[in-house]
Amino acid sequence: MQHGAETADKKKVYYSVQIVSDRDAGTDRHFSMSLGVFAVFMAAVGFLIIAALSYCFILAGELDRSGNSVEELRMRTEELARQNEALLTEKEEVMKENEELQEKVAILSDTVNGKVQQERAREAEIARTYIPTGFPLKGTASYRENETELEGNPIAVFYASQGTSVVATANGTVSSIAGDAEVGYIVMIDHGNGYFSVYRNGARPKVEKGDSVTKTTALFDIEAGKEELGYQIIEHDKYIDPLSLMETYG
């Protein structure tokens, strides 16, 4: 019992904190707190200090990571810039190659067009050689103007001296030979384009059916007493005036 009374009679211990001003006297302040409150206060101060230090550490880490991110971004940007420059260079090279190809294509096109025109001109020239526009005698001859028809069809009658050659007026193929030495011979040439030329003379023909002829191919040689040559043109199954198609005659 006595020990318990002594415990009950114990009083709480308080600590005083004095704040002294460095200015006028009489401004001192006194604060009293128990040991438990003081301990809590110091613990709070310690916690605040630890929290502040932890925040500074975390902030430093974030700044470090942020610095690394900026560096990575800078490096990535530089890499993209290099790639873009490489692409621009490649684009310029491709454009240059394209221009060179276009020039080559233009030259090739001009060459092809030139060859096509030449080929067309050659084909046209060849086609003209199959149109009977030539003169049917190799040499001079006279023309009888009052003899312009035979059996109702147009005809041109020429007279040439002995030894003069009767020639084809265009390229073609001998399609038929008719007649004999008494009534005369008829040589017909198919020019393959709707034109036929007909040659009438009393001399024996120098060609045969199926022969290919040109403007230099002799069909007859004019003989004495057989100086007359009858010449006709058929265009698409119709007789036409042979002089209308003939380029030159004498």
pLDDT band at 1 (very low <50, low <70, confident <90, very high): very low
pLDDT of residue 44: 78
Provide the 10 A C-beta neighbour count for residue 60: 10
> Which range has highest mean pLDDT (40-44, 119-123, 219-223)?
219-223
Q: Report the sign of the C-alpha dihedral through residues 179, 185, 190, 196, in that order.
A: negative
pLDDT, tens only, 166-212: 999 999 999 999 999 889 999 999 999 999 999 999 999 999 999 99
pLDDT of residue 78: 87
CA distance 156 to 143: 7
pLDDT band at 65 (very low <50, low <70, confident <90, very high): low
Nearest one of 189, 199, 191 to 165, comparing CA atoms:
199
pLDDT, tens only, 75-124: 888 888 888 889 988 889 999 999 999 989 999 988 989 999 999 999 99
pLDDT of residue 47: 79
Is residue 212 within 8 A of residue 129, CB to CB? The reply is no
Mean pLDDT rounded to a whole number for the chain = 84
Strands (E), 71-183: 137-138, 142-143, 149-150, 153-154, 156-159, 165-167, 172-180
Nearest one of 112, 164, 140, 113 to 249, comparing CA atoms:
140
Is residue 201 within 8 A of residue 218, CB to CB? The reply is no
Give the residue with greater pLDDT, 36 vs 234.
Answer: 234
Nearest one of 169, 185, 163, 159 to 136, comparing CA atoms:
169
